[in-house]
């Protein structure tokens, strides 16, 4: 690695001389004053070691108390087994220097580097994060711990990931790559802090990786290692996450896009709860990593219901070939931010007059928001093209197919030149899943009921509503005749009949009354003192069949067909139907 060197010019030297000249003659006296002011609890050494925080192959981290600044901080020292390996100790020192140069809110700040008093052990101190590794957070979510599940929503997890991406993007802007990004190296604080830790494998992308690591000649040695542990030999990184180019151990192939792959692997574990590579032993994992052989996130953890748009981001970052990955961290950041902001519509589309926006029977899942223009929703019923509704600017169509898995049940045709915003299926489902689980279930349940009911066309949607109304009257009185004694006249208050028909069919009450008035005028019904009856149920049944036949109603148990009428009856029924048409039932 390379590090910045501090060069002193002439002015720096002169300033240093002035400072020394201004100091008291007795340096011993000054030292005593300083020590008294610092008031250290222990006089030998600035730091008091408290507890061991973590231990790895390259270093050990302790919590220590800084007597001078009176705060608890973290101290990292090299592992005992590398103390006599100068290249690795040098790498330890360079780690602190590289990290210290990366001053970013999401990169752990380095406080000091030095040598422990009365020893040859180097150390550096850094901020102590009051939190836990992201790996532990993911593990608790996988266990469905209610506190973690409630707190770490998809949005919050992606916000954590974005902060890590920003840290990596900042390092890349300074020519530094991390090479060991994984959930274990990401600390999550209690108050929103996110810090990317462990820059022990970091290097400048334009520098030679000339650290003299020992090569692993016997591959059986690898089998004994932990897959999530950082390897620092020829293969640098954690085997469960590494990019294919890291397996080859060629430093020239490892660059900023390697970090992008590792970021993708981190995002992979956030939502699948598992690292990309797992196997029976390390050699198995190594071979999987070399072939970039990992399971698609949605298949790895189907219960997580990973949105397709988010899965595409993961797969893009983890592409086996470097030229297929994101060109930069910023591109990855932009896609995550777009996902969070919901900017995943399918764009705006123009439709000309007569052009179909949606076609019945299609299995497309887009939802359309009309920006300008008008369109007609229509459906083929019994061979006739029935208009269901007219829609205009601000109205939405196609959302039912988006929520459910059914095909389109109606056609939507532009009646004017129309502009529509297309909402993708992924975005619609993602927005629904932001709701509380019980609210999401209510929405899907209502959608299922509407979809079921839409199979049966409501009379209000028919261009001609005469037959449903006449048939309803017939059913009311036919049912009463079955239960009554033969020859017993059946009558009901007119108001009750109108209310019953209106309630059952959902038709307008005034129009229902007009239909009954016409039927009464024509003798099919009788109204005496506001008591409505049907003089001849047999004749009314014949008229009901006539309406079914003339309106070509072919649904239900009884199919329409030719009925035998004498000429006078045919003329009379035709006249009654024509009269009913005039009131636009």
Residues acting as catalytic residues:
180
Q: How far is CA 551 from the centre of its chain?
A: 50
DSSP 107: B
Q: Are 206 and 214 in contact (CB under 8 A)?
A: no
Q: Are strands 71-78 and 375-381 parallel, antiparallel or unpaired?
A: unpaired
Helix (H) or strand (E) holding 445, with range, is helix 437-453
Q: Tokens in use for 227?
A: 């897959």
Of 393, 398, 399, 394, nearest to 415 by C-alpha is 393
Q: Please name every residue paired with 177 in a beta bridge, in sequence order, or none if there are none.
A: 203
Q: Tokens in use for 46?
A: 């600035």
Whole-angstrom CA distances from 183 to 179, 180, 206 are 13, 10, 27
Of 261, 254, 262, nearest to 206 by C-alpha is 254
Q: Kindly report the three-state secondary structure assignment for every residue of 314-334.
A: HHHHCCCCHHHCCCCHHHHHH
Write out the DSSP string of 447-485: HHHHHHHTTS--GGGSS--HHHHHHHHHHHHHHHHHHSP
Helix (H) or strand (E) holding 287, with range, is helix 282-290
Of 584, 460, 470, 585, nearest to 522 by C-alpha is 470
Rounded CA-CA distance 542/179 in Å is 86
State whether residue 77 is helix, strand or coil: strand
Write out the DSSP string of 206-238: TS-----PPP---GGGGGGS-TTSEEESSSEEE
Q: Are 201 and 241 in contact (CB under 8 A)?
A: no
Rounded CA-CA distance 35/43 in Å is 8
The backbone torsions φ and ψ at residue 170, rounded to the nearest 5 degrees and listed phi first, read -65, -45
The backbone torsions φ and ψ at residue 122, rounded to the nearest 5 degrees and listed phi first, read -75, 155
Q: Tokens in use for 25?
A: 């003659």
The backbone torsions φ and ψ at residue 253, rounded to the nearest 5 degrees and listed phi first, read -90, -10
Q: Are 474 and 482 in contact (CB under 8 A)?
A: no
Of 292, 300, 297, nearest to 309 by C-alpha is 297
Classify 237 in phi/psi space as left (phi over 0), alpha (psi -120 to 50) or beta: left
Helix (H) or strand (E) holding 195, with range, is strand 194-196
Rounded CA-CA distance 263/453 in Å is 47
């Amino acid at each position: 690695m390379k590090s910045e060197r501090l060069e002193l010019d002439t002015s720096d030297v002169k300033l240093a001389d002035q400072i020394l000249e201004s100091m008291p003659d007795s340096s011993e006296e000054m030292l005593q004053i300083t020590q008294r002011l610092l008031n250290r609890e222990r006089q030998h050494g600035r730091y008091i070691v408290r507890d061991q925080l973590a231990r790895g192959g390259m270093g050990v981290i302790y919590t220590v108390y800084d007597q001078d600044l009176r705060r608890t901080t973290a101290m990292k020292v090299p592992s005992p087994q590398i103390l006599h390996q100068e290249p690795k100790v040098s790498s330890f020192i360079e780690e602190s220097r590289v990290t210290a140069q990366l001053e970013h809110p999401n990169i752990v700040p380095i406080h000091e580097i030095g040598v422990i008093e009365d020893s040859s052990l180097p150390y550096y101190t850094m901020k102590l994060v009051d939190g836990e590794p992201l790996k532990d957070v993911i593990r608790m979510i996988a266990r469905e711990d209610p506190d973690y599940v409630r707190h770490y929503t998809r949005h919050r997890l992606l916000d954590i990931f974005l902060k890590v991406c920003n840290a990596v993007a900042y390092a890349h802007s300074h020519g530094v790559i991390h090479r060991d990004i994984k959930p274990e190296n990401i600390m999550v604080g209690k108050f929103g802090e996110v810090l990317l830790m462990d820059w022990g494998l970091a290097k400048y992308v334009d520098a030679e990786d000339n650290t003299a690591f020992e090569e692993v000649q016997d591959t059986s040695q690898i089998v004994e290692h932990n897959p999530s542990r950082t390897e620092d030999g020829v293969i640098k990184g954690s085997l469960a996450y590494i990019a294919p180019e890291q397996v080859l151990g060629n430093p020239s192939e490892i660059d900023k896009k390697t970090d992008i792959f590792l970021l993708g692997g981190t995002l992979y574990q956030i939502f699948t709860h598992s690292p990309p590579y797992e196997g029976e032993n390390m050699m198995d994992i190594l071979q999987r990593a070399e072939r970039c052989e990992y399971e698609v996130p949605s298949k790895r953890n189907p219960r997580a219901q990973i949105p397709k748009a988010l899965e595409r981001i993961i797969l893009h970052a983890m592409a086996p070939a470097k030229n297929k990955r994101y060109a930069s961290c910023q591109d990855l950041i932009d896609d995550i931010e777009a996902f969070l902001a919901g900017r995943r519509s399918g764009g705006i589309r123009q439709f000309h007059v007569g052009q179909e926006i949606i076609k019945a029977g299609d299995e497309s899942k887009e939802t359309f928001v009309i920006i300008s223009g008008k369109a007609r929703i229509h459906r083929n019923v019994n061979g006739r093209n029935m208009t269901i509704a007219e829609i205009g600017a601000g109205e939405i169509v196609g959302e039912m197919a988006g929520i459910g898995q059914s095909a389109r049940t109606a056609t939507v045709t532009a009646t004017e030149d129309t502009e529509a915003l297309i909402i993708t299926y992924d975005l619609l489902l993602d927005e629904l899943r932001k709701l509380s689980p019980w609210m999401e279930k209510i929405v899907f349940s209502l959608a299922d009921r509407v979809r079921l009911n839409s199979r049966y066309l409501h009379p209000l949607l028919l261009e001609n509503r005469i037959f449903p109304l006449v048939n309803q009257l017939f059913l009311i009185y036919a049912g009463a005749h079955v239960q009554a004694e033969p020859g017993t006249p059946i009558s009901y208050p007119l108001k009750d009949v109108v209310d019953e028909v209106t309630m059952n069919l959902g038709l307008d009450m005034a129009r229902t009354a007009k239909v009954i008035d016409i039927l009464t005028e024509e003798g099919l019904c009788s109204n005496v003192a506001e008591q409505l009856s049907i003089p001849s149920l047999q004749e009314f049944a014949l008229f009901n069949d006539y309406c079914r036949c003339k309106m070509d109603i072919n649904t239900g148990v009884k199919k329409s067909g030719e009925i035998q009428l004498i000429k006078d009856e045919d003329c009379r029924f035709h006249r009654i139907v024509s009269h009913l048409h005039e009131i636009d039932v």
